[in-house]
Amino acid sequence: MKTTRATLAATVTAALALAACSTEEEFLEEPEQVLVDDTSAPVERDPEDFTMNGEPSVYAVSFNRGTKCAYFDKGPGRDGYFACDLDLSGEIPPLDHDAGIDTPTDSVLWDDEIGFATTHDTGGGEIDPIGETLAPGEQVTISSYTFTHDKDGTVRGERDGHWFEVSPDGQYASDHFSP
């Protein structure tokens, strides 16, 4: 019986020691971390998805909050006409091109000297085409212009190292305007 008690005592002692070690190790181990990759590249869309009625010379891209951009191709070797209507709020940028109509900035044009230039819609109807919507997490390149609709809802336009952005709440920023 002494052998059985000694064996039982040794087994219990060993089990308690193992339990203490594993419990101690559990507290010392780092918890497993799951990382979410928010830096994934946007899905590239085909520019042809944004042509108006299949006409390859007119492109229109719509975003959130009434922001939309249009590009009218003028043919090989010629820069086309580009403009965006913007639905802005917050700190409104000053006009780079003032047509003298006494309205705030609500459009962006391309200017070879300064890049994306703020202006106001003069009512000529240049951007009347309503295009396909570029969803959050998507990007499209039309001619020299790349448009990205970030997953957070920010709209970004880029060309030749120049850029502009419109946040989901309508705040405008660019390479020459910081709110």
pLDDT of 78 reads 81
In a domain, residue 21? The reply is no
Q: Which residues of 44-70 are buried (b: 16+ CB within 10 A; e: fewer)?
A: ebebeebbbeeeeebbbbbbbbebbbb
What phi and psi, each to the nearest 5 degrees, are found at residue 19?
Answer: -65, -40
In a domain, residue 78? The reply is yes
In a domain, residue 144? The reply is yes
Mean per-residue pLDDT of the chain: 80
Provide the pLDDT confidence category of residue 144 given band limits of 50, 70 and 90: very high
Residue 163 lies in domain = 43-174
Choice between 28 and 139, residue whose per-residue pLDDT is larger: 139
Helix, strand, coil % over all residues of the chain, rounded to 5: 15, 30, 50
Compute CA distances 25 → 12, 15, 22, 95, 135, whole Å.
20, 15, 5, 64, 47
Indicate the number of domains in the chain. 1
DSSP H helices in the chain = 2-28
**Is 60 exceeded by the pLDDT of residue 62?**
yes
In a domain, residue 52? The reply is yes
User: What does the pLDDT look like over 8-29, one tens digit per residue?
Assistant: 344 444 444 444 444 444 444 5
Task: Confirm if 118 and 108 have CB atoms less than 8 A apart.
Answer: yes
Averaged pLDDT, 33-47: 74
In a domain, residue 129? The reply is yes
In a domain, residue 20? The reply is no
pLDDT of 25 reads 47
In a domain, residue 38? The reply is no
